[in-house]
Amino acid sequence: MANTLFTNVRILDGTGAQPYAGEVLIQGNRISRIGRGVRSLPVAGVTVIDAAGATLMPGMVEAHTHLGWNNSKTLDAIQKMPPEEHTLWTAQMAKLYLDHGWISCVGAAAPKPRLDVVIRDAINAGQIPGPRYLAASQEITVTGSLGDDMLPHLPYPETSFGKVVDGPEEMRKAVRMFLKYGVDSIKLNLSGDNLVPGADAKTNWMSDEEVAMAAREAKIRGKRLSSHARSSESVKQSLRHGIDIIYHASFADEEALDMLEAQKDRIFVAPGLSVIIRLLDNGETVGISNAQAKQMGYELELEAAVKSLKAMLKRGIRVLPGGDYGFAWAPHGENAKDLEYFVKLLGMTPMEAIVSCTRWGGQMMMRGHELGEIKEGYLADLLLVDGDPLSNIAILQNPAKLLAIMKDGVFHKEPEILSARTRRTQTAAMDSTPPVRPDAALHHAAGLPVLPEAVRSARNRWS
């Protein structure tokens, strides 16, 4: 693992502090030293990257990830994908997320019982590229609710979209099964969803006894719970039973908001706005007109969600990006749109949106002491961005603007000029060229090859 010095960078450290010019030294997989200004850190024995003023920021954290969703039109079509193809697809999505700067992801449910675990373990073993990943169970649901609606169409009940349980003992068995498989979290579908006829987003389906059983079994083994909770009652139920991650929370009323605020240092909310917004805007791609989407209740839910989430932010509740991507109308790879939605709809500043996907993301990954900030001693999960996300948050939607992607001190995407072989070749070719630039003399003194014009403008780099 090479040591790397990012110099001439604009450091956006993820804490909410204003960016500053400086240098960041990576030793092994950690941020070793941070210097303000230019040429304040030693370069001997390290690879020097002159970033020409590009922005260095922490890697982003996606809080509501379904790597196994296969960009289909329906939940049924997601689940019908054969397991072999489904595993390959999910591995490809893991790489896609890393390609787009999501260096950590929190699994929000898998479509097959062991799929998330297999992918997480393959990433950790170095078998496939992918983000730091927390593996989720299937969605656990009850008869008639979200996750049960496609059962009649499938040949084997055990391959249903959700794990269907009825009663505390069935819940106990299901949770223990997923814990045996090695998941990091248990997902419960407490509310309905507007996609399900007869079980819309305002309905509640799981009994307190069933939720309490799931919480008991997970907590005694040190695992977390997350909930699909669009209705106000399902949010309150989540909080009564110690659920850690609440997805959606669209219809949170004042009582629910008070309960959220009382536990704001423990819980996280990831609303998944994209699945609503994009169905209203792009539903035609799956045969759902804007009028039909409104009739299904999505416009009403979006209005309620925006109101609820604005109130949460005012109360200091951590609201994180992650938009249920993986449907035909909201495919994987467009996840950074959530940051733009946060700014345009929720009134966040671009800085607040960055903090939500970095600092708060590190906390949601249960590694807030070493992840999500550019800070000495923290893990070297970094993005080098061609531009200023604070001036234009939408640039994070363009992977071409990510000049470098580093995970755990290793480049997943190297800057164009960083190949060691290319550097040596270019250095040899420079024997007959004019003398090196004065600012490169220190590189020669250290026995390092001189990088070519990495200091040229970002405009030139990408022209």
- Percentage of the chain beyond pLDDT 70 is 87
- Percentage of the chain beyond pLDDT 90 is 78
Name the phi and psi angles at 368, rounded to 5.
Answer: -65, -15
- Average pLDDT for 104-122: 97
Residues with Cβ within 8 Å of residue 42, at least 6 apart in sequence: none
One-letter amino acid of 48: V
Name the phi and psi angles at 410, rounded to 5.
Answer: -120, 140
Question: pLDDT at residue 79 above 90?
Answer: no
Domain-wise residue ranges, the chain: 4-59+373-461, 60-335
Hey, which residues does 228 pair with through a beta bridge? 189, 247
Q: What is the pLDDT of residue 417?
A: 58
Q: What is the pLDDT of residue 3?
A: 92
One-letter amino acid of 40: S
CB–CB of 192/199 below 8 Å?
A: yes
Cα-based distances in Å from 204 to 56, 239, 367, 424: 44, 14, 33, 64
Question: pLDDT at residue 250 above 50?
Answer: yes
Q: Is 225 exposed, middle or buried (0-12, 13-18, 19+ CB in 10 A)?
A: buried
Question: pLDDT at residue 446 above 70?
Answer: no
Question: pLDDT at residue 450 above 60?
Answer: no
- Average pLDDT for 246-271: 98
Q: What is the pLDDT of residue 155?
A: 47
> Which tokens belong to 261?
């605020």
159: confidence class by pLDDT, cuts 50, 70, 90: low
Question: pLDDT at residue 179 above 80?
Answer: yes
Q: Give dist(CA 23, CA 34) in Å, integer.
A: 6
Q: Which pLDDT tens digit goes with each residue over 311-345?
A: 999 999 999 999 899 999 999 999 999 999 999 99
Over the chain, what is the mean pLDDT? 88
- Average pLDDT for 230-244: 98
Q: What is the pLDDT of residue 156?
A: 47
Question: pLDDT at residue 441 above 70?
Answer: no
**Angle in degrees, 0-180, between the axes of helices 254-262 and 298-314, rounded to the nearest 10:** 40
Q: Give the closest residue to 272 by CA, choosing from 205, 387, 191, 206.
A: 191
CATH code for residues 4-59+373-461: 2.30.40.10
Q: Give dist(CA 49, CA 59) in Å, integer.
A: 18
Q: Give dist(CA 279, CA 302) in Å, integer.
A: 11
> Which tokens belong to 260?
């959220």
Cα-based distances in Å from 250 to 10, 43, 126, 230: 37, 51, 38, 5
- Average pLDDT for 126-148: 94
Q: Which pLDDT tens digit goes with each residue over 14-52?
A: 999 999 999 999 999 999 999 998 777 777 789 999 999
Q: What is the pLDDT of residue 335?
A: 97
* CATH classification for the domain delimited by 60-335, as one of 3.40.50.10190, 3.20.20.80, 2.60.120.460, 3.20.20.140: 3.20.20.140
Q: What is the pLDDT of residue 195?
A: 85
